[in-house]
Amino acid sequence: MYHMIKPHTSGKFRGLRVSPDMFEKQIIYLANNGWHFFTMSELIIQKDNLPNKSVAITFDDGYEDNYTNAFEILKKYNAKATIYLVVDRFDREWSSKRKAKNSSGELKNESKLTNEQIKQMLQSNLIEIGSHTLTHDNLPTLDTESKKQEIQESKKAIEDEFDIECNSFCYPFGLYDNQDIQLVQQSGYSSATTTKAGISDITKANLFELDRITVSGKDNFLAFVLKLRHGKRGVRK
């Protein structure tokens, strides 16, 4: 689980920013150590016949650096990835939806992917676009109709705009309840990811509550390697 691939800043959300050099080092490690790259949809379709070392790289939210920085690295090593896109992502402050004190505007001011950039990435056949809802709202706090709008309308909007199937979903902030799981299933998605740290056995796990390995900008390279083995936080700077 990544968010941004860009140099660190002094802001509150430093952990969401993995430097391009570190990201390339991580991708090189995966490529040189026999890992096979899949989009989330591919991972689900092939879940009963996957190589032992199978990995799905995911990006949450839809930051522009996913195109300007990460995409070039992914192409260089023929690595696939899934971007969980917030449909209404421009000039929107969603940090406070989790905690009111997070309303600094730091993430709002980050440049977001344009639809044209997304279309260019889709043409590479390396990138899948999944849904991260319409507005990155806090799903458990919403009424049923609002939940449906966030989950269902985001799928439709992505499919209509990019002429693709949107099969993968990601819960904003990793926050969800049983009703959210049901709505995601009923809406026609094939999987949903959480922010729970861990490695899911995809042949046995609930496909609508999948764990992920959090890759933080605060981690050094050893922490990345340890997380690949254990799914949990290792050594930090």
What is the reported pLDDT for 103?
A: 63
pLDDT in tens, the chain (237 residues): 999 999 987 677 889 999 999 999 999 999 999 999 999 999 999 999 999 899 999 999 999 999 999 999 999 999 999 999 999 999 888 877 777 666 677 888 999 999 999 999 999 999 999 999 999 999 999 999 999 999 999 999 999 999 999 999 999 999 999 999 999 999 999 999 999 999 988 999 999 999 999 999 999 999 999 999 888 764 444
Q: Which two tokens stand for residue 2?
A: 């990544």
Q: What is the per-residue burial (b if ≥16 Cβ within 10 Å, else e) of 185-217? A: eebebbbbbbeebebbebeeeebbbbbbbbbbb
Please state whether beta strands 127-131 and 81-85 pair in parallel, antiparallel, or not at all (unpaired).
parallel
Distance CA 151, CA 155 (A): 7
Amino acid at 226: L
Q: Which two tokens stand for residue 225?
A: 């390697």
Amino acid at 7: P
E strand residue ranges, the chain? 4-5, 17-18, 36-37, 54-55, 57-61, 81-85, 127-131, 168-170, 191-197, 210-212
What is the reported pLDDT for 95?
A: 79
Residues 6+ apart with CB under 8 A from 159: 165, 166
Helix (H) or strand (E) holding 132: none
pTM score, two decimals? 0.94
Asked if 38 and 168 touch (Cβ cutoff 8 Å), the reply is no
Report which of 21, 120, 5 is spatially closest to residue 59, judged by C-alpha positions: 5
